Amino acid sequence: MIWAMIAVSCAFALVGLMAYTGLWRSWTRSWSADRVFPTAFLGFGGICLGAFGALLSTHAFVVTALAMVAAFVLILVAVGLFIFGVPAWLTPRWYRHRSGA
């Protein structure tokens, strides 16, 4: 189950990173930045959450705690970006140039 969560989170992170780096720009015709860019944060948060779950039964207490805190912060940022929108300073230059922001 943990590996499935990590795999899905990697897919979310890949979608967000491809959109942010400009390797995937066709999404701008049908979606907004508020729906695409936060997926990178959500994906990395899920990866950290999966790492937390995988390390929970080990004695790596510090790494486990850091993974949990990172997961919480990244998922909280993703939810905030989904709800309140992505500020212009957080969007890449190619997107600001295209949207005229």
Give the pLDDT score at 101: 58
CA dihedral 60, 14, 86, 21 (to 10 degrees): 120
5 class by beta-carbon count within 10 Å (0-12 exposed, 13-18 middle, 19+ buried)? middle
C-alpha distances in Å from residue 43, one per residue of 7, 29, 34, 58, 71: 9, 23, 15, 24, 10
Give the span between the Cα atoms of 5 and 47, in whole angstroms: 8
pLDDT one-digit tens code per residue, 6-29: 999 999 999 999 999 989 888 888
Domains in the chain, number: 1
pLDDT one-digit tens code per residue, 48-83: 999 999 988 888 889 999 999 999 999 999 999 999
77 contact partners, CB below 8 Å, separation of at least 6: 38, 41, 45
What pTM was computed for the model?
0.87
E strand or H helix that includes residue 20: helix 2-21
Q: In the structure, what pLDDT confidence band is assigned to residue 99 with cuts at 50, 70 and 90?
A: low
Give the pLDDT score at 100: 65
Provide the residue range defining the domain that includes 15. 2-99
